[in-house]
Amino acid sequence: MDLIPAPRTHSFRPDAPPCPLGPRPWLDAGPGTAGTARWLRRELGAATGWDLPPPDPADGGAGIRLRLDPGLAVRLGPEGYALTAGDAGADLAGASPAGLFWAAQTLRQLLGPHAHRRSAPLGRGRSWILPRGTVEDGPRFAWRGMMLDVARHFTPKEGVLRHLDLLAAHKLNVLHLHLTDDQGWRIEITRHPRLTEVGAWRPRSRRGHRASPLWDETPHGGFYTQDDIREIVAYAAERHVTVVPEIDLPGHSQAAIAAYPELGNADVVDTAALGVWDDWGVSENVLAPTEAVLRFYEGVFEEVLELFPAEVSPFVHVGGDECPKNQWRASPTARRRIRELGVDGEDGLQAWFVRHFDRWLAERGRRLIGWDEILEGGLAPGAAVSSWRGYAGGIAAARAGHDVVMCPEQHVYLDHRQAPGPDEPVPIGYVRTLEDVYRFEPVPAGLSGEAAARVLGAQANVWTEVMEDQSRVDYQVFPRLAAFAEVVWSPLPGPAERDYGGFEERMAVHRRRLDAMGVRHRPPGGPLPWQRRPGVLGRPLDGEPPNV
- Residues marked active site are found at 181, 252, 322
Q: Quote the CA–CA distance of 214 and 130 in Å, as a whole number.
A: 52
Coil/strand/helix, residue 75:
helix
Q: Which residues bind ligand ACM (CB under 6 A)?
A: 321-322, 371, 388
When the beta carbons of 4 and 374 are compared against ligand ACM, the nearer one is 374
When the beta carbons of 409 and 486 are compared against ligand ACM, the nearer one is 409
- Rounded to a whole number of angstroms, the minimum distance from the CB of residue 253 to ligand ACM is 13
Report the candidate in 135, 141, 231 with the shortest Cα–Cα distance to residue 442.
141
- Rounded to a whole number of angstroms, the minimum distance from the CB of residue 316 to ligand ACM is 16
φ, ψ (nearest 5 deg) of residue 283 = -70, 145
Q: Quote the CA–CA distance of 220 and 19 in Å, as a whole number.
A: 51
- Rounded to a whole number of angstroms, the minimum distance from the CB of residue 178 to ligand ACM is 8
When the beta carbons of 188 and 321 are compared against ligand ACM, the nearer one is 321
**How many CB atoms lie under 10 A from the CB of residue 389?**
17
**DSSP class per residue in 431-499:** ---HHHHHT--SS-TT--HHHHTTEEEEEEEE--TT--SHHHHHHHHTTHHHHHHHHHHS----GGG--
Counting Cβ atoms within 10 Å, is residue 107 exposed (0-12), middle (13-18) or buried (19+)?
buried
Angle at which helices 157-169 and 97-110 cross, to 10° = 80
Report the candidate in 179, 334, 171 with the shortest Cα–Cα distance to residue 247.
179
Q: Which residue is nearest to ligand ACM (CB)?
A: 321
When the beta carbons of 44 and 147 are compared against ligand ACM, the nearer one is 147
Report the candidate in 132, 265, 151 with the shortest Cα–Cα distance to residue 205.
151
When the beta carbons of 27 and 467 are compared against ligand ACM, the nearer one is 467
- Rounded to a whole number of angstroms, the minimum distance from the CB of residue 205 to ligand ACM is 19
When the beta carbons of 393 and 427 are compared against ligand ACM, the nearer one is 393
**DSSP class per residue in 89-107:** EEEEEESSHHHHHHHHHHH
The continuous run of DSSP H or E covering 27 comes out as strand 26-29
φ, ψ (nearest 5 deg) of residue 92 = -115, 125
When the beta carbons of 173 and 386 are compared against ligand ACM, the nearer one is 386
CB-based contact 269:285 (threshold 8 Å): yes
- Rounded to a whole number of angstroms, the minimum distance from the CB of residue 389 to ligand ACM is 8
- Rounded to a whole number of angstroms, the minimum distance from the CB of residue 371 to ligand ACM is 4
Three-class secondary structure assignment of 365-409: CCEEEEEHHHHHHCCCCCCEEEECCCCHHHHHHHHCCCEEEECCH
- Rounded to a whole number of angstroms, the minimum distance from the CB of residue 321 to ligand ACM is 4
- Rounded to a whole number of angstroms, the minimum distance from the CB of residue 388 to ligand ACM is 4
Residues in the chain: 548
When the beta carbons of 388 and 438 are compared against ligand ACM, the nearer one is 388
